[in-house]
Every structure is written in C-alpha cells, then in structure tokens.
Structure 1
Amino acid sequence: MKKLILTISLSLIGFTAFAQTAFEKAMTEKIAKVEDHKTPDEFTALANDFDRIGTKESKEWLPYYYAAFATIQKGRILMQSGKTAELDPVAADAEKYIAKAEILSPNNAELFILKKMTSGLKMMADPMSRYMTEAPVAQQALAKAQELDPNNPRITVLQAEDAYFTPEQFGGSKVKGAELFKKAIEQFGTYKSKSSLDPKWGKAEAEYFLSQK
C-alpha cells in the first residue's frame, strides 16, 4: 500500500512538473513574439493567445499581463500611425486584461506600470481635453508602482519617456530624459526578476533613445 501511495505521489509530482514546463514553454514562445511583431493585427492575435493561456492556467497572472502588454503595444503602433481615434477601445481591452491579472496578483508593480501606459493611450486619444484628467491618473499609477518596487527599471524608462517628450518650459527636456534612460540601464544591470517569465522589457528602448543624437 505504501508503495502504491508513493507511486501515485511521484506520478502527481511528475504531472505537475510537466504541466509547469508546458506552461512555461507556451509562455516563452509567445513572449518572444512580442518583440517580433510589427502590426496591430499581429498584436491583437498575440493578446488573444495569451488570454487563452490565462483561461487554461486560471491561477497564473502573467498570461493576462502579457495580453495587456501586447494590447498596449498595438495602441502605441496605432498612435505612431496617427490613428488616435482607435485608442479608446484598445485601452479598454488592456484594462480588461489588467483587471484579470490584478485579481490573481494584487498590489503588483508591473500591473501599475501597465496602468500608467494604458492611461497614456487614453490621454493621447484626445490630449487637449484629457490631459487634466488622465495625466494625474497615470502619475498616480507610476507612483504606486515605485512604492511597491522602487528599483524596477521599467518605472525609470517611463519616467525617462515623460521627461524626454515634455518641453523644457513644462519641466522636461531631452537631457533629463537621457539621464533617466542611463539610470534605467544601470538598474537593468542589477534588477532581478522573480521568474524567467516575468517582464524584462525596457532596456532596448532606453538604449535606442540614448543612441539618438
């Protein structure tokens, strides 16, 4: 009887390890595509893939995190293309995924970082009328992220972006932005992610801005 119990226990351990490996494999393959994709449609499909993984792995917050991140990347492409009228539904989709992730992982700095980025998309849909409402929301989200994880380099990357694109008369400058991008790169050198699947983006963006003359 003891041998039978031991055999069953070992089988369950082996199955759990296999399931985790399958989850990690699926996530790793999809995460790699975040940097490869270039079009809104590609990011929509990728977000849907992460959402399906999240539905299957009901205790994991990271699939929904990456579904939101892929959606935000879609929004950034639309914004760069001048399609600001399409940003509101994109932001709504990102918020939906963030809410799912937050149920599974409350008080998570990475999710507040995404909230800041989502608020930025909503503001860019109509900057003149929304700056006064969305800018404080974005800054509160980033402040909460910093409170939870003060050495997170992605927080510094977003602070650098804000400084880089804000005119000097409003407190920003490209010089201030560059200083923060340098700080972010230094933080990337020492920051330890909690797992191999946790967010790691941001360093390439900081390096890109520092390469601009």
Structure 2
Amino acid sequence: MQKLFLAILLFIGVTAFAQTAYEKTMTEKIGKVESHLSADEFTALANDFTRIGDKEKTQWLPYYYAAFASIQKGRMAMQSGKTAELDPIADEAQKSLDKASELSKDNAEILILQKMIHGLKMMVNPQQRFMSEGMLAADALSKAEKLDAENPRITLMKAEDTYFTPEQFGGSKSRGLELFQKSLYQFKVYKAKSSLDPNWGKGEAEYFLAQKP
C-alpha cells in the first residue's frame, strides 16, 4: 500500500513538472511573437511552436502560435511591399492553424487568425481578391464575433480594416481610431482563459492611438 502511495505521488510530481516545463517553454516563446523579429526568426519561432505541438499532441495553443508567428512574418513582408511572398507565407500559417482547429473547434481566437490569413492572401492583389479572400476574411471575423463578442482582438481587426480602407470604399480613419479606442477599453477588462491563451494586440491599439493628431 505504501509503495502504491509513493508511486502515485511520483506520478503526480512528474506530471506537474512536465506541465510546468511546457508552460515555461511556451511562455518564453509567446513573449517573442509580438517582437520585431526578422523573417528568418519568425520562421524559426513558428517551427519551435510546431515542435512543441507535435510533442504535446493534444494542445491547440502551440499550433495557434506557430500560425501567428507565420502571420507576423507575412505582415512584415506586406509592410515592406513584398506582396509576392504573401501566398506561401499564408499557406504556412494555414497548415499550422488547421492543426489548431482540429484540436479546438468553434474557437474565436483561431477564427481571428483565419481572418488574418485571408487578409494576407487578399493583399497579393486586393482588386482581384476582395470578393474571394476579402469575403472569407469578413466571414471568419463574423463567426468569431458570434462566439466571443467582447474579444478585443475582434475589435482590433475591425479597427485596422476601417482605418486602412479608403473612404470611397467605406473606410474612415476617424472611425478606425474610435474602434482602436474601443479595443483598448476591452483589453482592460477582458480576461484570457489562462496565462498561455492569446493576449496580444493591446500594443498595436496603443500605437495607432498615439498617431492620432
């Protein structure tokens, strides 16, 4: 009986250590996702998250962050005018996000990244792809909102779209700034489900609001 009790304690201790090691590694790498990394560094980070996911097998978050790291690489390419690189980068992100989606259905956070992936693909040729990728992006964000209406990252995505869309197509910088402000309020009260769950975006809202004349 005593041996059984010791065996149970040992199992609990090993399990707790493994969880702690997973959380520690994830926390360290999550902190890099919003950093100003090079394209190669984002690729390496995405690969690191993928390896964690492949090891854990049942955790959706490593694959989610692998997709997000690829998306960050894509956004950096887009800002540099390297639109020819966006399709393959978006495909990389999609592969990771599909794995996350298999492990966590009806997840607003995953749908937000899905919106961003479609957005990257649209930016290859906005005029030609608005009715395809643009509509798919809007649909993903709409589904996310139905699942988690107060999520500040949903409002952040709306703010970006409104801010950067020309006025003749329904955009508005002033309305975009209002939405950035709304997202900032939401960030103050929104509670992530765990220390590893998505919590990004506040810095971006603050950046745009700092540009306000």
Contact 2:34/2:200 (<8 A) preserved: no
Q: Which residue of 2 aligns with 1:181?
A: 180
1:140 aligned counterpart, secondary structure: helix
* C-alpha distance in structure 1 between counterparts of 2:84 and 2:34, whole Å: 25
Superposed structure 1 runs of 4+ greater than 4 Å apart: none
How many residue pairs get aligned? The number is 212
* C-alpha distance in structure 2 between counterparts of 1:122 and 1:208, whole Å: 24
* C-alpha distance in structure 1 between counterparts of 2:10 and 2:199, whole Å: 34
How big is the shift at 1:4? 1.5
What is the RMSD computed on CA atoms of the aligned residues?
A: 0.8
How big is the shift at 1:33? 1.4
2:46 aligned counterpart, secondary structure: helix
How big is the shift at 1:32? 1.2
Q: Which residue of 1 aligns with 2:98?
A: 99
Q: Which residue of 2 aligns with 1:64?
A: 63
Q: Which residue of 1 aligns with 2:25?
A: 26
* C-alpha distance in structure 2 between counterparts of 1:176 and 1:66, whole Å: 30
Question: Where does the alignment leave 5 or more consecutive residues of structure 2 unmatched?
Answer: none
Question: Where does the alignment leave 5 or more consecutive residues of structure 1 unmatched?
Answer: none
* C-alpha distance in structure 1 between counterparts of 2:34 and 2:163, whole Å: 23
- Deviation string 1:84-143 (CA, Å, 9 cap, x unpaired) is 111101011111000000111111100000000000000011212111111110000000
How big is the shift at 1:5? 1.5
Contact 1:37/1:43 (<8 A) preserved: no
Could you tell me which amino acid in structure 1 is paired with residue 75 of structure 2?
R
1:188 aligned counterpart, secondary structure: helix
* C-alpha distance in structure 2 between counterparts of 1:147 and 1:8, whole Å: 46
* C-alpha distance in structure 2 between counterparts of 1:38 and 1:8, whole Å: 45
TM-score normalised by L of structure 1: 0.97
